[in-house]
Structure 1
Amino acid sequence: MSNYLYIPEQISKSIYEISSPIFLTSELFCYGLDLSQTTHLHIDQQLEHPLKIAQARVERKNEYLCGRVLVQAVLNHHFGLDQSITSMHEPLPIWPTHVLGSISHSQNKLIVALSSHAVYLGIDIEHWVTSEFAQESAHLILTPSEFDLWKSKAVDFFDFAHYVSLIFSVKESLYKAVYPAAKQYIDFLEASIVDINFKNQTLTLNFLSEIQQRYQLLEQYEGGWTIEQNHIMTWVFQSRNFA
């Protein structure tokens, strides 16, 4: 067995053809895929299974492999790179030098984003949480200042469940963006939104000073969101051109 997952060109091409470009922010190549359109390809039967998904159910295998195949296709199409990013043994993608990427999925939706200009990059897709989930889980996701933000500003733009979905998702994006530096899980309450523009759908986050210093993180991280009918997509990204 090779150390890296081999993806035949035809499979890569097939996945790329049924994906759709998504504009999140400039200098970010982002693509989405409806996983229900991939079942006829039987990806999980055509590719070897890395250790991470060896025991997974079929749907999880398909979701994982489609994400990795789509990333390879975007790398090839936009960057002219055909090296594999999927180790058979390591759980995380191994990105080429000078390229950062991120993968996310929710239910039957998959998105990937790549950039060759990223200081940091994380993306997330979430279907809207229910009102019940929002009420029960808000204290695990929202800091006191984010509860205040809801009451003072956000209530004019979001219902509470959508607001909790936004904060949950953008913090997921943030943790993906800082994982290469922190290499640790960071709690939802250890990061907070410090500035938000609901019209432009952009925001700024920071970590508690103790967390920032422990993992030598930046003082602030820039992000944003885009809304679809039944889900939200968030990104935390800064281009070196604007750093």
Structure 2
Amino acid sequence: MSHYLYIPEQISKSIYEISSPIFLTSGLFCYGLDLAKTQHLHLDQRLEHPLKIAQACVDRKNEYLCGRILAQAVLNHHFGLDQLITSMHEPLPIWPTHVLGSISHSQNKLIVALSNNAFYLGIDIEHWVTSEFAQESAHLVLTPSEFDLWKSKVADFFDFARYVSLIFSVKESLYKAVYPTAKQYIDFLEASIVDINFENQTLTLTFLPEIQQRYQLLERYDGGWTIEQDHIMTWVLQVRNFA
């Protein structure tokens, strides 16, 4: 058996053709996919199963395979790289040198993003949490300073459930962005938003000093968000300036 998941060209083409480009921010190639439109392809029956999904249900196998197929198709389409990225044994994608990628899904929606000039990159998609969930879970997601930020600045723009959704999502993006460096998942309360701009929908995050030092992380990370009717998409990204 190969060490990498082989994806036939026709399957790759089929997934790419039903995906849609999404503009999140400059320097990023992002595509979205409605997973409901992929059921007829029966990918779980047509492709080998990497170790990570060997015991998963059909729906989980489908979303995993679609994410990897779409990411590989975008890599080929935009960067001309015909490279296998899915190890049969390693849990994370193996991105080519000089390319960073990120994959996220929520319910029936999937997004992938790739960049060839980024220092760090993470994306996330989340459906809006309910008011009940927000109230019950806020203390697990929001730091004291983020509660203060909600009261002083954010309440004029977002209701509380949307604010919790935003913070949850952008911290997911942040942890994906720093995982290649930290090699650890970091708690939600160990990072915090320090600046937020609703006019251009951008924000800045930082980690607690001891976390920053332990994992050799940057002082600040830049992020942003975009809103759809039933979900939010966030990213944490810094692109190189070649000027």
Same fold (TM over 0.5): yes
User: In structure 1, how many angstroms separate the alpha carbons of the residues matched to 2:181 and 2:242?
Assistant: 20
Query: In the alignment, what sits opposite 2:205?
Result: 205
Cα offset, 1:44, TM superposition: 1.2
Query: In the alignment, what sits opposite 2:93?
Result: 93
- TM-score where L is the length of structure 2: 0.99
User: In structure 1, how many angstroms separate the alpha carbons of the residues matched to 2:213 and 2:207?
Assistant: 9
Query: In the alignment, what sits opposite 1:138?
Result: 138
Q: Secondary structure at the match of 1:37?
A: helix
User: In structure 2, how many angstroms separate the alpha carbons of the residues matched to 1:52 and 1:65?
Assistant: 11
User: In structure 2, how many angstroms separate the alpha carbons of the residues matched to 1:50 and 1:241?
Assistant: 37
Per-residue CA shift, 1:152-208, capped at 9, x if unaligned? Answer: 111011100000000000000000000000001100000000000011100000000
| Number of matched pairs | 243
User: In structure 1, how many angstroms separate the alpha carbons of the residues matched to 2:175 and 2:240?
Assistant: 19
User: In structure 1, how many angstroms separate the alpha carbons of the residues matched to 2:176 and 2:150?
Assistant: 24
User: In structure 2, how many angstroms separate the alpha carbons of the residues matched to 1:239 and 1:74?
Assistant: 18
Q: Which letter maps to 2:5? A: L
Query: In the alignment, what sits opposite 1:115?
Result: 115
Per-residue CA shift, 1:57-84, capped at 9, x if unaligned? Answer: 0000000000000001000000001110
User: In structure 1, how many angstroms separate the alpha carbons of the residues matched to 2:46 and 2:13?
Assistant: 14
Quote the sequence identity (%). Answer: 88
Q: Which letter maps to 1:44? A: D
- TM-score where L is the length of structure 1: 0.99
List structure 1 segments (4+ residues) > 6 angstroms apart after TM superposition.
none
RMSD: 0.9
Cα offset, 1:47, TM superposition: 0.7
User: In structure 2, how many angstroms separate the alpha carbons of the residues matched to 1:242 and 1:19?
Assistant: 30
Query: In the alignment, what sits opposite 1:172?
Result: 172
Q: Secondary structure at the match of 1:85?
A: coil
Q: Which letter maps to 2:2? A: S
Query: In the alignment, what sits opposite 1:225?
Result: 225
Cα offset, 1:242, TM superposition: 7.2
Q: Secondary structure at the match of 1:235?
A: strand
Q: Secondary structure at the match of 1:93?
A: coil
Query: In the alignment, what sits opposite 1:236?
Result: 236
User: In structure 1, how many angstroms separate the alpha carbons of the residues matched to 2:5 and 2:22?
Assistant: 26
User: In structure 1, how many angstroms separate the alpha carbons of the residues matched to 2:109 and 2:143?
Assistant: 28
Q: Which letter maps to 1:87? A: S
Q: Secondary structure at the match of 1:241?
A: coil
User: In structure 2, how many angstroms separate the alpha carbons of the residues matched to 1:80 and 1:47?
Assistant: 23
Q: Secondary structure at the match of 2:241?
A: helix
Q: Secondary structure at the match of 2:66?
A: helix
Query: In the alignment, what sits opposite 2:64?
Result: 64
User: In structure 1, how many angstroms separate the alpha carbons of the residues matched to 2:241 and 2:180?
Assistant: 20
Query: In the alignment, what sits opposite 2:129?
Result: 129
Q: Secondary structure at the match of 2:205?
A: strand
The reply to whether residue 11 of structure 1 matches residue 11 of structure 2 is yes
User: In structure 1, how many angstroms separate the alpha carbons of the residues matched to 2:44 and 2:68?
Assistant: 12
Q: Secondary structure at the match of 1:5?
A: coil
The reply to whether residue 75 of structure 1 matches residue 88 of structure 2 is no
User: In structure 2, how many angstroms separate the alpha carbons of the residues matched to 1:242 and 1:201?
Assistant: 24
User: In structure 1, how many angstroms separate the alpha carbons of the residues matched to 2:123 and 2:92?
Assistant: 15
User: In structure 2, how many angstroms separate the alpha carbons of the residues matched to 1:196 and 1:153?
Assistant: 9
The reply to whether residue 156 of structure 1 matches residue 160 of structure 2 is no
Per-residue CA shift, 1:105-142, capped at 9, x if unaligned? Answer: 00000000000001000000000001111000000100
In structure 2, stretches of 5+ residues that fail to align are none
Cα offset, 1:240, TM superposition: 1.2
Query: In the alignment, what sits opposite 2:22?
Result: 22
In structure 1, stretches of 5+ residues that fail to align are none
User: In structure 1, how many angstroms separate the alpha carbons of the residues matched to 2:30 and 2:185?
Assistant: 25
Q: Which letter maps to 1:120? A: Y
